[in-house]
Amino acid sequence: MEYRVKTDVCVIGAGHAGCEAALACSRLGLNTVIFTMNTDSIAMMPCNPHIGGSSKGHLVREIDALGGEMGKNIDKTFIQSKMLNVSKGPAVHSLRAQADKAEYSKEMRMVLENQEHLTIRQAEVTDILAEKTAENDDLSEAAYRITGVRIATGTVYECRAAIICTGTYLNARCLVGESITETGPGGMQRSTFLREAMDRLGIPIRRFKAGTPARMDGRTLDYSKMKIQEGDKEVIPFSYSTDPATVQIEQMPCYLTYTNQETHDIIRANLDRSPIYAGIIEGTGPRYCPSIEDKVVKFGEKNRHHVFVEPEGRYTNQVYIDGMSSSMPDDVQQRMYRTVPGLENCVIVKNAYAIEYDCIDANQLRLTLETRRVSGLYCAGQFNGSSGYEEAAAQGLIAGINASMQIMGKEPLVLKRSEAYIGVLIDDLVTKNNLEPYRMMTSRAEYRLLLRQDNADLRLRHYGYRVGLITQEQYDHVCEKQRLIDEEIARLKSIRIGAAQKNQTYLKEHGSAPLGTACSLAELLCRPELGYESIAGLDPDRPALPGEVTRQVEINIRYEGYIARQRRQVEQFEKMENRRIPESIDYDDVSSLRLEARQKLKKFRPASIGQASRLSGVTPADVAVLLVYLEKFRTRFKPNQTEK
Ligand SMILES: Cc1cc2nc3c(=O)[nH]c(=O)nc-3n(C[C@H](O)[C@H](O)[C@H](O)COP(=O)(O)OP(=O)(O)OC[C@H]3O[C@@H](n4cnc5c(N)ncnc54)[C@H](O)[C@@H]3O)c2cc1C
């Protein structure tokens, strides 16, 4: 007798994507069930023991600004924290925190276990249940509508939306040289059956790969041969909700060492035994997280590569050898690692390995992360072809929000490339032809001076408030912050100081050139050697403002010209972005479109002219044809009959 359970949302997977998705849905009041192969793997970090870093720190801040959990969770469980790229401009400043992996997972599980409307279920989801809604295959409308999921025990969970976040588990296999095990990461049980459901629903699947380095017994390493890497003296939290006083903790160090010619010779001599170079691995790996084999082959001219030794936690001796992920056989790993200064006597606790797994091509998703083929079915995380905890969490949050908005009949949340790194991430996944795991980088964001990690709350809190994940109090706080910033900028622009002797003396004492003529305090603030704090002596009547406000004032005044220019570019960009393309458009009817463009537009069904212009194979001439067609037939399409 089949047992059936009624719920609102089913989240398949409790990794970084699944946790954010499930918390978003349940915090919005929807009954949610989150499934995992093993509750001990909730928010597991199967690879690097850190959260954040270049561009990934931006994602974590944006997740937090929208009401997600990752930022709060790492603030409670980090063991070292560092603001990266501080010698460069604020656009690339990025927070990175070393996590205590076990504590990170435990803390997130506690949050899930104590979340109202949320049920955790250890079970493999083996099938997606959906009813047919349309015969067509042109994706102009969904062919199915989700009705539920089935688990391995046969029990059916009826739901109104489901979110697939299976990460690196689906049909996973792990490779250490010739040794191949059919498991998920870290020896966890893999999942298999969902593949059939994807095939049945006509959702194409592909194989991607990831790799991770060995874990070693830290007691067997000689740190005197490495360069210590300390955290920041004053720690800045990831979350806007975290009291900075609570993160000034005793930190653990990391260490830097290097590979050398001997390491590279061992690898070159055994390339034929590497599953990557022996062609055993089918999946495509990430260009920007290369294995040590790839580095030695692709950057042959380099005589050494960075190796960071990172603790995995406070209550373990295990350390992570960042920069040497590999799938070489065990005997080769034993020899190659021991050539690295400080690792001469290392004991490997866990071998480096490669994992390949099933994932989808995110081109078949809408910008809401809903699948085109099955309405109410969403996908997020590594399953969408991305790579990284932060990328996964960002997608999970957006998928959770949009599944909830759909059930509640509310406006979905689609962030533009000009508003957020999350907008860049999802637009790239859905619009670009990503042939390898997609990793976020600052260079992917056109408007990165506006999308800084320090202003994520000012950019996104209002969206979190609109969807219901940010409280009135949090929203009021950020509105007040913006008001104080604007007011202080105006005040500094309005106050002029002259070349009086006392001002000249003050400037001299602060290593700054004397004034030729009078100028505003704002102009003075543009001098690189001066800062908001250092001009305090010339500004006796200044109001007492919190650091989070004065930091924004300083950045906005210093980079005013660049910011204004980027804002003008955004205006141009958003004109195209706001030019919506009706969902039901028949591209066969747009006569003068080139064949390649027609095929691409029919496959991707872009939501806007802006998105259409980013499709490879769609030229500016094709966009012009489309614009003329839309103008000519504007009346043919019902008002706002556009894709959300
Ligand atoms: C070996 C390895 C190396 C990696 N290397 C890198 C790297 O170098 N750089 C980088 O940025 N990222 C790397 N990653 C990726 C990183 O770990 C992932 O990006 C991140 O964990 C993805 O999060 P996720 O939520 O999408 O999936 P995961 O964290 O993989 O979580 C998936 C969840 O789904 C559950 N699940 C799966 N199938 C089912 C089912 N049918 N029913 C129920 N539950 C199911 C699992 O139990 C798990 O809870 C690596 C990962 C691995 C495993």
For residue 496, give the H/E element and its range. strand 496-497
Question: Looking at residues 475-502, what average pLDDT do you find?
Answer: 97
How far apart CA 389 and CA 50 sit, in angstroms, is: 9
**Ligand 1 mutation pick, 120, 169, 293, 350, max ligand atoms within 8 A of CB:** 169
Q: Provide the pLDDT confidence category of residue 643 given band limits of 50, 70 and 90.
A: very low
The answer to whether the Cα torsion of 65, 70, 76, 79 is positive or negative is negative
Question: Looking at residues 129-140, what average pLDDT do you find?
Answer: 74
Ligand 1 atom closest to the CA of 393, numbered from 1: 25
Q: Is residue 96 part of a domain?
A: yes
Q: pTM for the full model?
A: 0.96
Ligand 1 atom closest to the CA of 37, numbered from 1: 47
Residue nearest to atom 49 of ligand 1 (CA): 14
Question: Is the C-beta atom of 611 inside 6 A of ligand 1?
Answer: no
Q: Is residue 93 part of a domain?
A: yes
pLDDT for 635 equals 63
Q: What is the pLDDT of residues 367-380, one digit of tens each?
A: 999 999 999 999 99
Question: Is the C-beta atom of 169 inside 6 A of ligand 1?
Answer: yes
Angle between helices 56-66 and 456-467 (to 10 degrees): 40
Q: What is the pLDDT of residues 205-249, one digit of tens each?
A: 999 999 999 999 999 999 999 999 999 999 999 999 999 999 999
Give the position of tokens 């250490």.
Answer: 176
138 and 186 part of one domain: yes
Which of 455, 445, 322, 434 is closest to 382 using CA atoms? 434
343 and 491 part of one domain: no
In DSSP notation, 344-387 reads: TT--EEE--EEEEEEEE-GGGB-TTSBBSSEETEEE-GGGGTB-
From 522, 538, 565, give the residue that closes a domain: 565
387 and 496 part of one domain: no
pLDDT for 642 equals 45
The per-residue pLDDT of the chain, averaged, comes to 94
Q: What is the pLDDT of residues 379-428, one digit of tens each?
A: 999 999 999 999 999 999 999 999 999 999 999 999 999 999 999 999 99
Is residue 103 helix, strand or coil? helix
558 and 629 part of one domain: no
pLDDT for 141 equals 65
pLDDT for 67 equals 98
Cα–Cα distances in angstroms (integers) from residue 299 to residues 189, 290, 294, 534, in the given order: 36, 11, 8, 46
* Type of residue at 161: A
pLDDT for 139 equals 55
For residue 422, give the H/E element and its range. helix 421-431
How far apart CA 352 and CA 324 sit, in angstroms, is: 8
Question: Looking at residues 14-34, what average pLDDT do you find?
Answer: 98
How far apart CA 376 and CA 146 sit, in angstroms, is: 5
Give the Å distance between the CA of 459 and the centre of ligand 1: 29
Q: What percent of the chain has pLDDT over 70?
A: 97
217 and 334 part of one domain: yes
- Cβ 263 vs Cβ 339: under 8 Å: yes
Which of 441, 431, 539, 543 is closest to 483 using CA atoms? 543
Statement: residue 314 has pLDDT above 70:
yes
How far apart CA 260 and CA 435 sit, in angstroms, is: 31
Give CA 522 to chain center in angstroms.
Answer: 35
- Cβ 44 vs Cβ 20: under 8 Å: no
From 445, 470, 495, give the residue that closes a domain: 470
Question: Is the C-beta atom of 191 inside 6 A of ligand 1?
Answer: yes
pLDDT for 636 equals 61
How far apart CA 225 and CA 10 sit, in angstroms, is: 50
Question: Is the C-beta atom of 52 inside 6 A of ligand 1?
Answer: no
377 and 485 part of one domain: no
Instruction: Please name every residue paired with 375 in a beta bridge, in sequence order, or none if there are none.
Output: 145
361 and 499 part of one domain: no
Give how many domains the chain has, as a whole number.
Answer: 3
229 and 378 part of one domain: yes
Can you give the CATH number for the domain in which 632 is found?
A: 1.10.150.570
In DSSP notation, 610-641 reads: HHHHTSTT--HHHHHHHHHHHHHTGGGSPTT-
Q: Is residue 616 part of a domain?
A: yes
Ligand 1 atom closest to the CA of 41, numbered from 1: 49
Q: What is the pLDDT of residues 563-607, one digit of tens each?
A: 999 999 999 999 999 889 988 888 998 888 899 999 889 888 899
Q: Is residue 583 part of a domain?
A: yes
Statement: residue 282 has pLDDT above 90:
no
- Domain residues for 493? 477-565
550 and 588 part of one domain: no
Question: Looking at residues 17-40, what average pLDDT do you find?
Answer: 98
Ligand 1 atom closest to the CA of 36, numbered from 1: 44
Q: Is residue 572 part of a domain?
A: no
pLDDT for 375 equals 96
Q: What is the pLDDT of residues 325-367, one digit of tens each?
A: 999 999 999 999 999 999 999 999 999 999 999 999 999 999 9
Q: Is residue 135 part of a domain?
A: yes
Residue 397: both structure tokens together? 């949050």
Question: Looking at residues 23-48, what average pLDDT do you find?
Answer: 97
- Cβ 426 vs Cβ 367: under 8 Å: yes
Ligand 1 atom closest to the CA of 384, numbered from 1: 26
Give the position of tokens 């980090």.
Answer: 78
Strands of the sheet with 118-122, listed across from one edge: 118-122, 32-36, 9-12, 161-164, 377-379
Can you give the CATH number for the domain in which 270 is found?
A: 3.50.50.60
Q: Is residue 325 part of a domain?
A: yes
Residue 95 DSSP label: E
168 and 153 part of one domain: yes
In DSSP notation, 174-214 reads: EEETTEEE---GGGPPPB-THHHHHHHHT--EEEEEEEE--
From 565, 587, 605, give the residue that closes a domain: 565
Residue nearest to atom 29 of ligand 1 (CA): 15
Ligand 1 atom closest to the CA of 193, numbered from 1: 41
Residue 405: both structure tokens together? 């908005």
Residue 78 DSSP label: E
Cα–Cα distances in angstroms (integers) from residue 74 to residues 104, 309, 524, in the given order: 7, 20, 38
Widest Cα–Cα separation across the chain: 92
410 and 317 part of one domain: yes
Residue nearest to atom 37 of ligand 1 (CA): 166
**Ligand 1 mutation pick, 382, 395, 436, max ligand atoms within 8 A of CB:** 382
Question: Is the C-beta atom of 170 inside 6 A of ligand 1?
Answer: yes
Q: What is the pLDDT of residues 489-540, one digit of tens each?
A: 999 999 999 999 999 999 999 999 999 999 999 999 999 999 999 999 999 9
Q: Is residue 274 part of a domain?
A: yes
Q: What percent of the chain has pLDDT over 90?
A: 88
Which of 292, 370, 305 is closest to 333 using CA atoms? 292
452 and 601 part of one domain: no
pLDDT for 507 equals 95
**How many Cα atoms sit within 13 Å of 522 on the Cβ side?**
19
Can you give the CATH number for the domain in which 495 is found?
A: 1.10.10.1800
